[in-house]
Structure 1
Amino acid sequence: MKAYIFLAIAIVTELFGTSLLKASEGFTKIYPIIGTLLCFGLAFYSLSLSLQQIPLGIAYAIWSGVGTALTVLIGIVIWKETANITTTVGVLLIIAGVVVVNLKSSHG
């Protein structure tokens, strides 16, 4: 269970880091740059701790899938980016892929 807490921390800090990366405007604003580097550092450290208990394929599928889906939502809500049916279908396919990878791993 502790490993999944580290994985959740990795996801959340990666989300903050990605948003700060956008706010850095091409690495031209110092505070968002510092925040990006700190968040990504903590994200990778937390991911590494989760890998002590969770298989690599499972952890990475969850981290990247959930992170991608939530990043799209953050882009829409915070950064006022547009979404369409293609975006929606893509995010649903990512989520489905994470579910399938997790189902396969739990059954052998």
Structure 2
Amino acid sequence: MSNPGFLWLALSVSAEIVGTSMIKKTRGFRRPAPSALVVCAYGLCYFALTRAMSTIPVGIAYSLWCGFGIVGVTVCAMILYKQKPDLPAVFAMMLIISGSLIMNLFSGM
């Protein structure tokens, strides 16, 4: 994983998690500070994702971005909003992480 694209991808996933986790706090984009954070986070997210995709195959980059984004947002929702995933949700997230890792580690894309 010496590819710098993976650093861009990590930044993209992190920004996406921040942006998505803060959407609820905007109250329909009626609160300026959280709204600005969401817009800036998504801007950084997509900028970094485009940089990542310049060196990582699109299918791998997108699967990692989606998978880790879903799990990261769920963890943030647990912390910020006291949401508790049930057993099927935890199992599904384990499948998402497994699938993303298998695609990244073993795919010939």
Q: Given the two structures, how large is their TM-score scaled by the length of structure 2? A: 0.90
1:66 pairs with one of 68, 80, 91: 68
Structure 2 unaligned runs (5+)? Answer: none
Q: Give the SS at the match of 2:56.
A: coil
Q: Aligned equivalents of 2:24 and 2:88: distance in 1?
A: 22
TM superposition outliers: structure 1 runs of 4+ over 6 Å: none
After TM superposition, give the deviation of residue 86 of structure 1 in Å: 1.2
Partner of residue 15, structure 1: 17
Q: Aligned equivalents of 2:66 and 2:81: distance in 1?
A: 20
Partner of residue 99, structure 1: 101
After alignment, is 40-49 or 84-93 more displaced?
84-93
After TM superposition, give the deviation of residue 68 of structure 1 in Å: 0.5
Partner of residue 42, structure 2: 40
Amino acid across the alignment from 1:70: G
After TM superposition, give the deviation of residue 103 of structure 1 in Å: 3.7
Amino acid across the alignment from 1:50: A
Amino acid across the alignment from 1:39: A
> How many residues are matched?
107
Q: Give the SS at the match of 1:80.
A: coil
* 1:62-87, Cα deviation, whole Å (9 max, x unpaired): 11101111111111122101221011
Q: Given the two structures, how large is their TM-score scaled by the length of structure 1? A: 0.91
Sequence identity percentage:
28
Amino acid across the alignment from 2:73: T
Partner of residue 80, structure 1: 82
